Amino acid sequence: MDIKGLLINVVNTRLDANFEARRPAVQAAKDRKAIVKQEMAQLKKDQAALDKKIKKQRNKQAEKIYKMRQAGDYEGSIAAIDEAAFANYKEIAANELKKAELQAKAEAAIEEKVTAKAEQVKKEAIAFVEKENAAK
């Protein structure tokens, strides 16, 4: 075997050793990424539902104002616009509060799931080592 082949084997052996040493950290990062992706998808879904609720309310208010204008009730429609703006302000503020709560809940769930996954991996590793030691 030539020197180049030997060098390649040595480098590959070292790379494999480095990979083996880092494998638990890499796997933990992959697990965390999967958990974060799942929780963020749920968070987006919940926030979209809240936004949809506001949009539906605005459409209903706009339709009411349009009908008032068609009937010729301009003063009533102006009052309805003011009322709608104030109602939307309250609803938007409540929505932002709910979104912040959902965000905090998602972050707590992520940490909880990551911790649980790490404990599970640790238990599996201990069981594997005990099994290997029992086999000897």
Boundaries of every domain in the chain: 3-135
Is residue 82 pLDDT above 80, yes or no? no
> So what's the pLDDT on residue 40?
83
Evaluate if pTM is beyond 0.85: no
- Letter for the amino acid at 68? M
pLDDT tens digit sequence for 6-58? 556 656 666 565 555 567 777 777 877 888 888 888 888 888 888 898 888 88
Task: Write out the H or E segment, with its range, that includes residue 124.
Answer: helix 74-135
Cα Rg, the chain, nearest whole Å: 29
Going by C-alpha positions, the residue among 41, 53, 49, 39 that lies closest to residue 117 is 39
